[in-house]
Structure 1
Amino acid sequence: MHLNILLAVMAVIAASAQEVPAMAVIAASAQEVPAAACETSCGNVSITYPFGSGEGCYYSSDFLVTCNRSSGEPIPFFGPSSGNVVISDMSTNTSEMEIMGLVAYDCYNISGPAERNQPWLSLRDFRISSKNKFVAIGCDTYAYFSGRIGNDSGIGSGCVAMCGENSVVINGSCSGVGCCEVAVPEGMNYREVFLNSFNNHSTILDLNPCSYGFFVAQGKFNFSATNLHDFKSDRMPMLLDWAIGNLTCDKAKDMENFLCKGNSVCDQSYTGPGYRCRCLEGYEGNPYVAGNCTNINECERGNHDCEDDDKCVDIEGSFRCTCPKGYSGDGTKDGTGCRADESTVIKIVAGVSTSKALSFDGPEEERSLAMYFLNSLKLGRLFNVLDERLQLDDVPSEIMQVSRVAERCLRVNGDERPSMKEVAIELQGILASMVRKHPWVQSSPNEDEDGYLLKELSNNNFESINGVHASNVSSSTFDSMSKQTMLPIPSGR
């Protein structure tokens, strides 16, 4: 007896032990949002969470998408299979869904009214976007819509479209001749369209037997005079706004099923009902899926304001602009850019100066290389800082140009100093001028080759050489010219 009881207890324990893992698997699957096996598209429409077309794929029944394949081409419908709202596009970034709304029509023949359609649309948690407009087409037409915003059902507006056999109907114009339009208020969750005629279209039956009325997304309809007699569309694209639930950000953030997590935040600019998520600045992806908002590399895409692409450094969620060694600033096009430090300019000045400028035996104002150079340039005595071994009768124009660039770089006010790019462009121009005057170029019997060389100089991109930009001049030409002008600079000690 005791043995039977013991065996029964052991059997229960064993059975319980086998069920625990199964329960754990079920719980884990329920936490996957969305499930890995969920459909990601239906026809040409991408289905992204919180929307989904299968169990465990959508946030709530409000976001159910039914993919109908009965007609061959898959067609996504909003809501259960019994619904007739066709989805043409959806976006998690703008929290909008584009649907194909039914067109209302009111047609007549010689006997009078022939056929009409008076569609209505009722939404529970979604709203008709104010990015739509209400349009009516006809020559004997007054059209209006009634709507509801929350509990207020007294919403409505409309317009009148008239024309005759001799009226000038302008394509693209909906100002009242053959076509009219009005704005749509924000927040409607219900709308119904009504069409009426003044004279049963009897006076313009051959030109326009029917009136039409519909909601359409702005920019998705362009009126044509042919629409008066032959308007073939029975549906038009219109936008719906959507949000999660009916709680605001502040109230929803403490809920267990709150969706704005990771690099996703709740959009405080949206006032409800419900809440919306968006990726943080510098991130992109689906803000309703945890971990899906990933870093944007602005440097690779060129979405930055750095002076040069190679000075852009990507950082998590943003980027920063840098300056090469010897330059300072924010590195941006609209900011301070990159301006040469005084130490960098002294190196440029030293390239055309001698031991005189480096001597510390002179007056106080001449002991600083920069000050000595500026004084000499100001007094027109640039010869004082040029090496006597250059054996020059006059200061070459290229040296004067470089000296003027250096003078601007030495200005105390940083805003008056040229940017790194400006210095590089000016030095490139001076270098190109020197190449034109080089004896190899002047004595060349082949003018085409000379032109090609100069063209190559002007077309080359900039690259960094010891922190200062210069053109991609042929290394043999550049080295040869450098060797002809290079002189040792004695120590100033």
Structure 2
Amino acid sequence: MAELLPFPLVPWLLLTCFSPFFVHSMESSTSSCSSSNISIPYPFGVYGQSPSPAEGFEITCGSSGPMLPIGNNSISILNISLLDGYVTILASAASRSRHCGGDFASFSLEGTSFTFSDTRNKLTAVGCNMVAMLLNGTSDYSGGCASFCSTSNSIVDGACSGVACCQAPVPKGLKKLSLNFTNINASLSKYTLACAEAFIVEQNSYAFAAAYLKVLNNSNNSPPQYRPVVLEWSIDGGSCEEANRSASYACKENSYCYSSSNGIGYRCNCTEGFLGNPYLQGPGGFQVCVFQL
């Protein structure tokens, strides 16, 4: 039979877990921007703050809060999840048909540690009597959806049900939004609109507005809208087995490695009974309280 801890020891353990040192250690594993209360956990970080960011996870501070550098752009960050491995950004991950008075460039995640989340986003298309087809980086199609409009009265605000707005799953491993738009036979409907737009947006965050379709078709080069988009991140280094043999292995003591389900790379998590940041070691890192009564 396991020996019970002496009763006076239990309050001592509780005090240890919630002591100022423990709280400070947990807080010091994150950085922040003065213009925002969004927590930035390592491996993310801001230069000049401790801990310094890991390569590929550098964050800058803008007037509205933390920004994620992607290519030549800086994208606003809404949230960073350490253990679930995702970051929510405010971006225009969109593409328009050639009839919209000129396309605008969508940003690419190629060459970064990020991919579009296939479980937390939806590919969404707005338009009438068209098919938006997603390319997988080559000439092959990897997804898409069709949107119909029979009359102007059929276009109403609400969910994307296939009337003026449709949605489809985002394929795994997607790093770049590349789309083709195809018109559906006009004989199927007398009501047509020339302009269409497709974009990636956080699942359940988008509600279709009929007014936006009118703006899209009545204004050439109307500015893109910024919407929440979820990116998954991982540590470069191949599979867990490969990474564990590397000197740069990111999972520290009392943590375990698991492979990313959405692209190449791996992430770390705390082993059962432990709490903290699995990517850091020592003071300011993986501070732990374990109760075993």
TM-score (norm 1): 0.44
Following superposition, the deviation at residue 274 of structure 1 comes to 1.8
- For residue 117 of structure 2, what is the aligned residue in structure 1? 129
Change (3 A) 1:105 1:79: closer
Within a 5 Å distance, the mapping from 1:303-452 to structure 2 comes to 316=290
User: What is the identity, as a one-letter code, of the residue corresponding to 1:50?
Assistant: P
RMSD over aligned Cα, in angstroms? 3.4
Higher normalized contact order (CA 8 Å, seq sep 6+, divided by chain length): 2
Describe the superposition over 1:208-257 as per-residue Cα deviations: whole angstroms up to 9, x where unpaired.
Answer: 67422101121221223344324786122222221111222222224333
Following superposition, the deviation at residue 143 of structure 1 comes to 1.6
Within a 5 Å distance, the mapping from 1:147-296 to structure 2 comes to 147-148=136-137, 154-169=140-155, 171-195=157-181, 197=183, 204=191, 210-230=195-215, 234-267=225-258, 273-291=264-282, 292-295=285-288
SS of corresponding position for 2:167: strand
- Determine the C-alpha separation between the residues in 1 that align with 2:253 and 2:201: 36
- The partner residue of 1:67 within 41, 49, 61 is 61
Describe the superposition over 1:310-350 as per-residue Cα deviations: whole angstroms up to 9, x where unpaired.
Answer: xxxxxx26x66xxxxxxxxxxxxxxxxxxxxxxxxxxxxxx
Larger CA Rg, structure 1 vs 2: 1
Does the 8 Å contact 1:248/1:272 carry over to 2? no
- Determine the C-alpha separation between the residues in 1 that align with 2:171 and 2:40: 28
Does the 8 Å contact 2:259/2:265 carry over to 1? no
Following superposition, the deviation at residue 54 of structure 1 comes to 1.2
Describe the superposition over 1:385-414 as per-residue Cα deviations: whole angstroms up to 9, x where unpaired.
Answer: xxxxxxxxxxxxxxxxxxxxxxxxxxxxxx
Corresponding position: 1:99 with 2:89:
yes
- Determine the C-alpha separation between the residues in 2 that align with 1:295 and 1:114: 57
Change (3 A) 1:144 1:86: farther
- The partner residue of 2:106 within 105, 119, 125 is 119
- Determine the C-alpha separation between the residues in 1 that align with 2:233 and 2:29: 25
Describe the superposition over 1:256-302 as per-residue Cα deviations: whole angstroms up to 9, x where unpaired.
Answer: 33221223221267586222100122333322122544557xxxxxx
SS of corresponding position for 1:289: coil
Following superposition, the deviation at residue 93 of structure 1 comes to 1.1
Change (3 A) 1:245 1:75: closer
Does the 8 Å contact 2:33/2:66 carry over to 1? no
Give the 4+ runs in structure 1 shifted more than 6 A. none
Aligned residues: 249
User: What is the identity, as a one-letter code, of the residue corresponding to 2:126?
Assistant: I
Does the 8 Å contact 1:246/1:275 carry over to 2? yes
- Determine the C-alpha separation between the residues in 2 that align with 1:270 and 1:194: 27
- For residue 53 of structure 2, what is the aligned residue in structure 1? 58
Following superposition, the deviation at residue 179 of structure 1 comes to 0.8
- For residue 135 of structure 2, what is the aligned residue in structure 1? 146
More helix by share: 1
- Determine the C-alpha separation between the residues in 2 that align with 1:118 and 1:235: 13
Following superposition, the deviation at residue 153 of structure 1 comes to 6.6
Change (3 A) 1:87 1:154: farther
- Determine the C-alpha separation between the residues in 1 that align with 2:262 and 2:101: 46
Does the 8 Å contact 1:106/1:117 carry over to 2? no
Percent identical residues: 27
Following superposition, the deviation at residue 128 of structure 1 comes to 1.8
- Determine the C-alpha separation between the residues in 2 that align with 1:37 and 1:90: 14
- Determine the C-alpha separation between the residues in 2 that align with 1:261 and 1:181: 40
Q: Which runs of 5+ in 1 are unaligned?
A: 1-35, 297-315, 321-493
